[in-house]
Chain A
Amino acid sequence: MVSKKNVLSFQDIIFNLQSFWSKNNCTIVQPIDLQVGAGTFHPLTALGVLGKKSRNIAYVQPTRRPADGRYGKNPNRLQHYYQFQVLLKPTPKNIQSIFLRSLKAIEIDHKKNNIEFKEDDWESPTLGASGLGWEIRCNGMEISQYTYLQQIGGIDCDPVSVEITYGLERLAMFIQKVNNVFDIIWNINKKENKVIKYRDIYLESEKQFSKYNFEYANTDYLFKSFEFMESECKDLLKNNLPLPAFENCIKASHYFNILDSRGVIGVAQRQSYILKIRTLVKSCCESWIKQES
C-alpha cells in the first residue's frame, strides 16, 4: 500500500488527465447522459469522427456492461465503471509521445515501467466500426486502448481520428497498488482526514444492479422497448434528425445488453439483434454525414 497521504486518488487521476489534455489542445466535454457500453458511443465521438471537421475532445464516460456485474463480489469486475476518452481528429503526428506524457501526468513514468504497445485491432459489431491500434499494457496489465478509427457505421473515416480510452479503475488500481477495485481511494478529504473509497460509493449499486441485470429486469418490457426504440429511430431519420435518432439507437443497444445478461437471447437471435442495431447506426451515420457536408 502506498501511504495514503500522497496517493493519487481516483478523482485526482481524472483531474490530472483532464488538465493534461486540456493543455494539449482538447476541449473537455461532459459525458452523454445515457447508458452506453463504451465511451465510443458518445455522439461527439460516434458521429464526430465522420466528416471533415477537425475535433479534439476529452471526457469521462460512465459505462455499463450489464453482463459483467458480479454482485460486488469479484475484485476486478463491475457492471458500471468509468472510461476516460480522448478523441483527436485528424491524428496529430506526435500522438504517441503525447500519450506517454499523459501517463506521466498520472505518475506512470514510461522510463520506470514496461509500457507495451500490444497489437489489438478493435471492432464493434453493433457500431459497424473498426480500427487498428494497440492495447497499452503497463507491466503486463492493460491500462488503455489506443485506436486509429478506420470506419464507423460502415463509412470510411476521412480524416482518420485517434481514440484513446483509459480504463480509470484499472489505472487507479495500478497507481494505488490495490488488488480490489472496491479498495480504490476515490478521495481523501484532508480537512476531516477522511478517506472515501470506491466501495463507499458503488458497492451497493453493484449489488442491486447485478440483481436487476441478471434476475429482475422485465424482459417482456425490454423486448417491446427495443422494438419501440427501433421504430422511433427510423421515424426520426425520416425527418432528418440523426442526433435524436442516434440516442434511440443507444437506448436500444442498452436494452439488448440487459436482455443478453438476462440470458434470454439465443445464439442466432443474438446475431440478428446486433444486425438490427448496426443497421440503425449506419442509417444515423449516413444521415449525419449528409448534414455535415
Chain B
Amino acid sequence: MSELFIEVLSEEIPYWLQKNIVEQFKTKLHDVIIENQLSGSETFNINFHFTPLRLIFFCDNLINEQKSSTEIIKGPAVDAPDTAIEGFIKNIGISKKELKKKDFKKKTYYFAKHEKIGRKSEDIIKENLEKIIRSLNWQKSMRWSHSSFRWGRPLKNILFYFDSKNIPLNFLENYSVDNNPFTISHKKVDKELRFKNFNQYKKKLLNSKVIIEHQKREEKIKKEISRFCQSKKILLKNEHNNLISLNAGLVEFPSILFGKIHKDFMSLPQEILEAVMINDQNFIPLFNKNNNLSSYFVIVSDYIKKEFYKKITEDNEKVLQARFADASFYWKNDLKIKFEERLSLLSDIQFHEKLGSFEDKEKRIESIAQVLVETLKVKCNSTELLLAAKLSKLDLTTGLVREFPELQGIIGGYIAEKQKIKDASKNVYLALKEQYLPKGPLDLCPKNDLSYILSLSDKLDTLLGFFLIAEIPSASKDPYALRRAALGILRIIIENNLKIKLEPFLKEIVHIYNLPNISNFKVKDLIIFLTERFKFLLKSITKKQDVVNSFFTHKTYNSNFLILYKKFLALNEFIKKGKGKKIIELNKRALNIVTIEGKKMHIKNSIDTALLKEKQEFILVEKLNQIENIIKFEQENFQNILNEISSLHLPLNNFFDNVMVNVNDLKIKSNRLSILKRVLDTLKTYADFSKIQK
C-alpha cells in the first residue's frame, strides 16, 4: 500500500478557523480518492492534524496506480451516416480498422474495445490539490503580496509526499507559495527538517518541539495543570475546557506556567477578575474547593526553555496587574455614583436608531415583563420585578462596563448589592446578574422566577424589535445576534417548563413599540424564525438530524415550544425502543405499497366500510378510529399517544400477513390502499417515520 502525506504550512491561523478548514480539506481529499478509486481498502480513512501553522493529512492505504480496465463500447449501426461513425472513433481515440462489427437486436453495429489505462495515484492527487486549495470556504480570509488568491493567513509552503517521495507541485509558483521539500521546526528551534516518510516527519517535529496532534497538546496542558492543582489543593473548572482547547490551538508546543494574582486585587468581584484573565489574556483561572477563585492561574506559552519560565511568568503577572488596576479604578469610581441616579444617563445611550435609547428599551422590558407574569401565571413580587427591570440597564453607563462589555449585568448586580438599593432583595441582584443568560450553549439558564422573566423580557424585546424594523438576520449576517437571542428564549422556555403560546403573546405586545407600519408585520415570520432555531437546538441536544427532520413536517407549526419539545422528546425515546423500531418498519412497508400503487391508480382518502371483507381489515380500521380519537383527546400526553400508535403494530402486521392488497377487484384493492394510506396519515400526525434512519 502507498502512503500519502501532505503538510500545508501557513502563518498563524486563528484557532476558530483551524478545525473547520482542516475538515473541509480532508473531505475534499477524501472525495478525490474515492472518485478516482485510489483507495486500497474498504475502511479507508484520512488522518488529519493541525497546529496554528500546519494542516497535516496522512493516509497509508492507497494504491499506487489505478487499475487498468477494458470495456467494449457499442457504437452506431454500420449503416449509420459517416459523420456519426467518425465522431464515435474520434471520441474513443482509435482508428476505423480497430472497430468490430457485431449483431445486436437484429441489426449490425460497430463495437470498439476501449482500454482505460490506470493513472498514477500521485498524478491524480497532485492535479486535484490545486482545485482543493482554491475551493476551500474560509469564514474569513485575506490576500497578500501580488496574488488574488485567498487564505486565512499567508500560505507559505505545501509539502506533498507519496510513497516516501517528495512530489513537486509546480502550480504553487502562481500563488507565490513555496514548494520546499522540507519543513520548519518550531520557530524557537529554528531548523529545516528533512525526512523520508510521515513517521519520521512526526518524530523529527516532536524532537524540535512541535506536537502535531491538537488533542495531545490539550492533554499536556491538562496533565500539568492537574499536577499543579493537586499540590496546591485547588481545582480546574470543567467549563474552562474550552479555554484549554483554545490555548492548545494557539501553540505548537505548550509550555505551562503558573502565575499568581496580587493579593490587593483579590477583593474585586470574582467575575471581573475572571473576565480580565480569560478575555484579555486567555489565562486559565483555578478555583478553591469551595468554588471561589484561587489566586493561581495558568499561562500557556508556546515552547520556552525552563530557565526563562520565571521571567515570563513575572512579565505576564505584571500585565495582568495593570489591567486589574484599571478595573479596580473603575470599580471604585463607579461606586461613587448612586446607582439609581444613573437612570437619567440611559436616554443618552442609543440601542438602535429606530428602536430608541436604552431608556426606551428598559420601559418596554417593564411592560413585557408584566404581560409575561400574567400569561405564565407565575407568582412574582411585582415591586421587585419592576425594580429589577428599571435597574437592568443602568450599568451600561458605568466605566467598568465600557471597559469590559462582557460583564454587563454582572456589574449592575454587584453595584446594586453593594449600595443596598431600597426594596431590593437578593433575588433582584441575582436577576440583574443573570439577565443576559444564557449567552452561549455552555451557559446555564436562569432558574429563579425573577431572573428568567427579566432575561426573557429583554430577549423578546430585542427579537421582536428588530423584526418590526425589518432587521432580520441573513444567511451570513446577524449583526444584532438575534439567533443567539432566539436560542436563549427557547432554552429558557423549555428548561423552566413555561407554557406559553408565543404567537398570541407577541401579538399582544406589538403595540408597545412606537413604530409606524406595525400592522404590516407578520408575527408568523418570527415564529418561523424561532422554529428554525428550535430545530437547531433539538439537533444540538440529540445530535440526530434525521429525527429532527422526521418531526418537522410541513404541518408542524406551533408557537408553544414547550409542547413541541415534549412531543419531540417522546418521539426520540420511542424510536430507540423495540416498538418504535417496529413502527418504522411497518411505516416503510405501507409507504412502499402506497407509493408504487399510487402511481398506477388514485387512492381515496376515505375508507368505504361496505367494502371491508376480512376480519383483519375490520380490526385495523377499528384500531385506527380508536387511535385518532386518543390523539384528539390526549393532546399533551405524548407517551400515551405513542403507546397507542405502537399498538397499531399487531393489527397492521396481521393485515399484511392475511390480507391481499393486490386483488383483481379494483374497488376492493383501492379501498385496501386507502386503509394503508390512512395508517400513514395517522402516523404522520406525529412524525414522518420514513425519514428516520436506523
Contact = CB atoms under 8 A, between A and B. Distances in A.
Nearest to A89: B145
Query: Which residue among B187, B311, B320, B349 has the maximum number of chain A CB atoms within 10 Å of its CB?
Result: B187
A114 B143 contact: no
Contacts of A158: 143, 146, 148
B226 to A, nearest CB: 22
Interface of B: 11-12, 14-15, 52, 140, 142-146, 148, 153-154, 156, 176, 178, 187-188, 190, 250, 281, 299, 301-302, 304-305, 308, 311-312, 315-316, 318-320, 322, 348-350, 353
A148 B152 CA distance: 11
B187 A100 contact: yes
A93 B172 CA distance: 14
Contacts of B350: 267-268
Contacts of B353: 268
Interface stretch (A115-123, A219-227, A234-242, A245-253): A115-123
Given A91-B145, A119-B14, A132-B140, A139 B187 contact: no
A139 B316 contact: yes
B140 A140 contact: no
Contacts of A160: 142-146
Nearest to B302: A114
Given A91-B145, A100-B187, A159-B145, 4 more contacts: A91-B154, A158-B148, A160-B142, A268-B353
A63 interface: no
Contacts of B146: 90, 158-160
B319 A150 contact: no
Contact of A150 (B52, B143, B302, B322): B143
A44 to B, nearest CB: 20
Contacts of B145: 90-91, 93, 159-160
A139 B312 contact: yes
B152 to A, nearest CB: 8
Contacts of B52: 117
A111 interface: yes
Contacts of B320: 140
25 contacts: A90-B144, A91-B144, A91-B145, A91-B154, A96-B11, A111-B188, A111-B190, A112-B304, A115-B302, A116-B250, A116-B302, A117-B12, A132-B140, A138-B315, A139-B311, A140-B281, A140-B319, A140-B320, A141-B319, A150-B142, A158-B148, A162-B144, A179-B318, A179-B322, A267-B349
Interface SS of chain A: mixed
Contacts of B148: 158
Interface in A253-293: 266-268
A260 B347 CA distance: 19
Contacts of A267: 348-350
A27 interface: no
A91 B177 CA distance: 13
A266 B348 contact: yes
Contacts of B154: 91, 148
* 4 tightest A-B CB contacts, nearest first: A139-B315, A119-B14, A140-B316, A114-B301
A162 B11 CA distance: 13
Nearest to B316: A140
A76 B322 contact: yes
A110 interface: yes
Interface of A: 75-76, 90-91, 93, 96, 100, 110-119, 121, 131-132, 134, 138-141, 148, 150, 158-160, 162, 174, 179, 266-268
A76 B321 CA distance: 12
Contacts of A179: 318, 322
Contacts of A118: 250
A268 B347 CA distance: 13
A141 B318 CA distance: 9
Contacts of B142: 131-132, 148, 150, 160
A112 B306 CA distance: 10
A268 to B, nearest CB: 6
A158 B176 CA distance: 14
Contacts of B178: 93
Contacts of B14: 119
A133 B613 CA distance: 78
A98 to B, nearest CB: 13
Given A117-B11, A121-B140, A134-B12, A141 B315 contact: yes
Nearest to B280: A140
A249 B142 CA distance: 28
A158 B311 CA distance: 42
A274 to B, nearest CB: 14
Contacts of B156: 93
Q: Which of B140, B143, B299 has the most CB of A within 10 A?
A: B143
Contacts of B315: 113, 138-141, 174
A21 to B, nearest CB: 19
Contact of A140 (B187, B299, B308): B299
Contacts of A174: 315
A90 B301 CA distance: 32
A182 to B, nearest CB: 15
Which of A118, A132, A134 has most chain B Cβ within 10 Å? A132
A140 B464 CA distance: 42
A93 B176 contact: yes
B437 to A, nearest CB: 27
B529 to A, nearest CB: 28
Contacts of A150: 142-143
Nearest to A157: B143
A179 B145 CA distance: 39
B145 to A, nearest CB: 5
B188 A139 contact: no
A79 B12 CA distance: 32
A159 B143 CA distance: 9
Given A93-B176, A117-B11, A140-B319, A112 B308 contact: yes
Of B52, B148, B315, chain A has the most CB atoms within 10 Å of the CB of B315
A142 to B, nearest CB: 9
B19 to A, nearest CB: 15
Nearest to B152: A132
Nearest to B184: A97
Contacts of A112: 304-305, 308, 311
Contacts of A75: 322
Contact of A113 (B153, B312, B318): B312
Nearest to A121: B140
The CB with the most chain B CB atoms within 10 A, among A112, A114, A148, A150, is that of: A114
Nearest to B251: A116
Contacts of B318: 141, 179
A39 B188 CA distance: 30
A179 B299 CA distance: 21
A115 B304 CA distance: 10
Contacts of B322: 75-76, 179
Given A148-B144, A267-B349, A267-B350, A132 B153 contact: yes
B297 to A, nearest CB: 11
A151 to B, nearest CB: 10
A231 B312 CA distance: 53
Nearest to B143: A160
Nearest to B250: A116
Nearest to B326: A76
Contacts of A134: 12
A209 to B, nearest CB: 21
Contacts of B348: 266-267
Contacts of A141: 315, 318-319
